[in-house]
Structure 1
Amino acid sequence: MFKRTRSLVCLCVAASLGMQLPVYANNIDLPDIGTTASSTLTIDQELQYGDAYMRMLRSSHPIISDPVINEYIDSLGHQLVANANDVKTPFTFFMIRDRNINAFAFFGGYVALHSGLFLHAKTESELASVMAHEISHVTQRHLARSMEDQARRSPATLAALAGSLLLAIAAPEAGIAAITATTAGNIQGQINYTRSNEKEADRFGIETLAKAGFDVNAMPRFFSRLADEYRYASTPPPMLLTHPLPEDRITDSRARARSYPERKVVPSIDYNLARARIVARYADINSESALDWFARTEKKAPSDIKPSFQYGRALVYLDNNQLDKAAELLQALLKQQPDNNFYLDAMTDLYLAKGQAPKAEVMLNNALKSKPNNSVLTINYANVLMKQDKNEDAVRVLQRYTHDTPDDINGWHLLSEANIHLGRRDEDLASRAEILALKANWNKAIQYYTQAGQIAELGSLKQARYDARIDQLIAARDRFMALQ
């Protein structure tokens, strides 16, 4: 798969970690906390603010725009969401390239994970405990409820507070979508974190973990390890600054975990493959350090996750152009699991590096027969077509892909590139306009579509499409500005 890093900002409401008393354990019922914020901030308004924040975030902080990683965290996240209480919004999971341990959630079901979490979470259940807690902050509407409480104690309305948060994270001198993470963090700390919210998210989070089939003891185990590791640190990680772990909280989480039946969870190969991919490509360490990490960690690892270390080494070799070493490892892995997207993606990179794009095309074609429209396979397939100058075919694939997944900037980048190769300046401009709109750069996006419309044949369907999209973007810009 082509490799690219993008930018996003670490804004807004990071929710702390924790866990929840089970509904069925000891016959204790959870309190009916309700959704008091609904009287002043509707779900629809939360979705609007969430979309606005996300667009602003895309322009400022490094996002891992890796289809393989995104597929994994999306799958894990929705496994948890399917077992969560009071889900009222869709959920979007994304990852920021940052070695600091952190996770946060904000309006509209957006949950961000720092890549550093994978370096500290030793099992999938530990990562799931972080995500379950963040999901609970969203489902229990903690940001809206905290802001509602502040609105009751000040002259400001809830909408004004939400709008001021939007303004505070945008630096006017740099234009809409330039975000100051420090300012956002300060406001976040003022309005979102209370002990009651943290404990509530803890309780609901652990219940979600249990229902989804994870090890509930992973939560107190992860808490304890973080607390011990950074107990005397002069600069603790962001997660402990915004997600404090006092001893009573760790004790409470441990007691709640014990109230559930013990469950033996088999180590997840996909989690360990994702972890290996992050160590190899996104941990900001050199290849020697990555190989050393794999060697040290493998010594203590159970046998059923050993393939993940071979995969990690293969990525390091591939990225350092040691293609024969990478090929030997990847071919063995694919024999074990021929339909594994981690391996198929890496083998695609290998074929392209060796100038064997037709082999990659055949391999991906076969894989798509069993997993049609899979995002990882589709984006790789389009890239392979372009490497063979089959740009017309690539455009057809990418037009459908961007229609189905319009928020994936990868698709728009490839569609722009394919149209450049075909000499279609107007379609290139339209693709780049969509990327700008995803980053809240509305005026530039409208400008690009206007230029595309001027290039298109007068009175053509294409020109009409561009004009219609301009109208949509103007309306979206006006809604966005009204939120402030």
Structure 2
Amino acid sequence: MMLKRTRSFVCLCISTALCAPSLSYANNIELPDIGTVAGSTLTIDQELIYGDAYMRMLRSSKPIVNDPVINEYIDTLGHKLVANADDVKTPFTFFMIRDRNINAFAFFGGYVALHSGLFLHAQSESELASVIAHEIAHVTQRHLARSMEDQARRTPATMAALAGSLLLAIAAPEAGIAAITATTAGSMQSQINYTRSNEKEADRFGISTLAKAGFDVRAMPRFFGRLADEYRYASTPPPMLLTHPLPEDRITDSRERAQSYPVVKVQPDLDYHLTRARIVARYADIDNEAALDWFTRAQQKNTIPTLDASFEYGKALVYLDSKQYDKSESLLSKLLKLDENNRFYLDAMVDLYLETKRADNAQTLLETALKQTPNNAVLTLNYANVLLKQQKFSESIRVLQRYTHDNPNDTNGWSLLSEANNRNGNQAEDLAAQAEVSALRANWNKAIQLYTQAGQLVKLGSLEQARYDARIDQLMIQRERFLSLQ
């Protein structure tokens, strides 16, 4: 019981988990002056530094899904909402954690995490968008900074101590919980009340963003109402309901507020359903037979012909992963004839070609697609991987060098670059790429060690050694800054 309480407390402090919507009326928002107080003690630049530190710790401690296809969908949807949000002061990064619990949270620096379980319960893109819009509002209205400032007012703690405690809670949960407890002498009820106030505010801004982005605002109360009904009598509700319950009056209020907005007819989004199918097939932790049964039953209930493609795609992935290549290829070929540039289908067909030793076919397919959308992340990573499988190491390295330059925070690119250099016999560059992965996971000492080893393998006084030495200096500065945050 004590463990559950401490975990809930950390969730209150770190994550702005989903809660019941309390949405504003379209014509009566009446919002308070936001963010001015928090800005006096924690600057946007400081939030960005803490956000980067938190993200590095999450990469090392949580099962983050590094699936380029899913990441592209989440990023596209997230930034469509950001473009319609108010008071955006930071860049935004959206990512998925492999966890069947229904949850989402946001933290410093515009980072928004979605649990894979969220996709299994959201039945439309508008429902998912309502969750993301809510989390975006937590960031734009700087709720974590404002909540921490409220704690600092009531205790002798400084903002730096509180922020450092949160970082430590990710790095070492037991130590972090102790630090938070020591720096938060105010009553728990006061913290809960402040959190609820933030949630109401996030709902108001979230539904406004949802409406401006062209989504169905009624999806928000519909999703949370269904969730409340489903877990009303559950002995083990999802984590978000333990810290943010869904009382009936809030759900009723959200429905009334949503009804004040004009009704918008939103067509089902195929990419959302393809993403959902990919998660069911590969990230729902169910066996192949169960996944096939899910797709079959869902397709039988489906009344929208355009969505049949998502169920066929899901089956194709299951067949591919279970090495039933003929069945998978039959489905994927039909899908590609309907939409030859669809990156969900292209990615799966490339995997199938590689599995069946037809790398040349995969290369041709990708080169054609890249002419349509040059530098696309999904296609570029696939192309580099195909070149790698064909033992065209130098070509693969050139593609990945450009990719990692443009996407320095993507571990996929660095991992592939490490493998390509290793197989090409360039041990120093292999170590350098490994070092970048370690740095992205806050393993600073290992990153510095790997770059040091790389420097010892190249010619003394060479440009490579100078580059490695310069990177070591940068990493040492980043390490010291990171450690000072705790």
- Common topology (TM > 0.5): yes
Once residues 422 and 34 of structure 1 are traced to their aligned partners in structure 2, the CA distance between those partners, rounded to angstroms, is 52
Counting only pairs closer than 5 Å after superposition, residues 20-419 of structure 1 correspond to structure 2 as 20-22=23-25, 25-26=26-27, 29-171=30-172, 183=177, 194-301=195-302, 302-419=304-421
How far off is 1:245 after superposition? 1.1
Once residues 255 and 332 of structure 1 are traced to their aligned partners in structure 2, the CA distance between those partners, rounded to angstroms, is 45
- The one-letter code matched in structure 1 to 2:124 is T
How far off is 1:362 after superposition? 0.7
Q: Is the 8 A contact 2:325 2:352 kept in 1?
A: yes
**Any gaps of 5 or more consecutive residues in structure 1?**
1-8, 172-178
More displaced, 264-273 or 27-36? Answer: 27-36
How far off is 1:157 after superposition? 0.9
- The one-letter code matched in structure 2 to 1:313 is K
SS at match of 1:32: coil
Q: Is the 8 A contact 1:215 1:264 kept in 2?
A: yes
Once residues 472 and 326 of structure 1 are traced to their aligned partners in structure 2, the CA distance between those partners, rounded to angstroms, is 47
Give CA deviations for 1:109-130 in whole Å, capped at 9, x if unaligned.
1100000011100000001111
Once residues 26 and 164 of structure 1 are traced to their aligned partners in structure 2, the CA distance between those partners, rounded to angstroms, is 41
Once residues 402 and 38 of structure 1 are traced to their aligned partners in structure 2, the CA distance between those partners, rounded to angstroms, is 34
Q: Is the 8 A contact 2:35 2:142 kept in 1?
A: no
Once residues 342 and 235 of structure 2 are traced to their aligned partners in structure 1, the CA distance between those partners, rounded to angstroms, is 43
- The one-letter code matched in structure 2 to 1:274 is T
Give CA deviations for 1:11-65 in whole Å, capped at 9, x if unaligned.
932333435425xx33654333343200000000000111111101111111111
Give CA deviations for 1:211-268 in whole Å, capped at 9, x if unaligned.
0010000000001101000001111101212332111211111111001000010000
SS at match of 1:63: coil
Cα distance change of structure 1 residues 186 and 123 upon mapping to structure 2, 3 Å threshold: farther
**Identity %, equivalent residues:** 72
Once residues 133 and 237 of structure 1 are traced to their aligned partners in structure 2, the CA distance between those partners, rounded to angstroms, is 18
Cα distance change of structure 1 residues 443 and 34 upon mapping to structure 2, 3 Å threshold: closer
Q: 2:425 aligns with which of 408, 423, 426?
A: 423
Once residues 43 and 151 of structure 1 are traced to their aligned partners in structure 2, the CA distance between those partners, rounded to angstroms, is 18
How far off is 1:168 after superposition? 3.0
How far off is 1:304 after superposition? 1.5
How far off is 1:144 after superposition? 0.4
Match of 1:460 in 2: 462
Match of 1:5 in 2: none
- The one-letter code matched in structure 2 to 1:446 is I
RMSD: 2.0
Once residues 159 and 367 of structure 2 are traced to their aligned partners in structure 1, the CA distance between those partners, rounded to angstroms, is 52
How far off is 1:403 after superposition? 0.6
How far off is 1:167 after superposition? 2.1
Once residues 456 and 464 of structure 1 are traced to their aligned partners in structure 2, the CA distance between those partners, rounded to angstroms, is 10
SS at match of 2:215: coil
Q: Is the 8 A contact 2:165 2:176 kept in 1?
A: no
SS at match of 1:30: coil
- The one-letter code matched in structure 1 to 2:390 is Q
How far off is 1:281 after superposition? 0.5
Q: How many residues align?
A: 467
SS at match of 1:58: helix
What TM-score comes out, normalization by structure 2 length?
0.93
SS at match of 1:169: helix
More displaced, 31-40 or 311-320? Answer: 31-40
Match of 2:484 in 1: 482
SS at match of 1:113: strand
How far off is 1:169 after superposition? 2.8
Cα distance change of structure 1 residues 155 and 184 upon mapping to structure 2, 3 Å threshold: closer
Cα distance change of structure 1 residues 251 and 442 upon mapping to structure 2, 3 Å threshold: same
SS at match of 2:14: coil
Give CA deviations for 1:438-479 in whole Å, capped at 9, x if unaligned.
011101100110110111111111110000000000000011
Q: Is the 8 A contact 1:456 1:463 kept in 2?
A: yes
Q: Is the 8 A contact 2:277 2:314 kept in 1?
A: yes
Once residues 29 and 306 of structure 2 are traced to their aligned partners in structure 1, the CA distance between those partners, rounded to angstroms, is 38
**Any gaps of 5 or more consecutive residues in structure 2?**
1-9
Once residues 169 and 308 of structure 1 are traced to their aligned partners in structure 2, the CA distance between those partners, rounded to angstroms, is 37
Larger helix proportion of the pair:
2
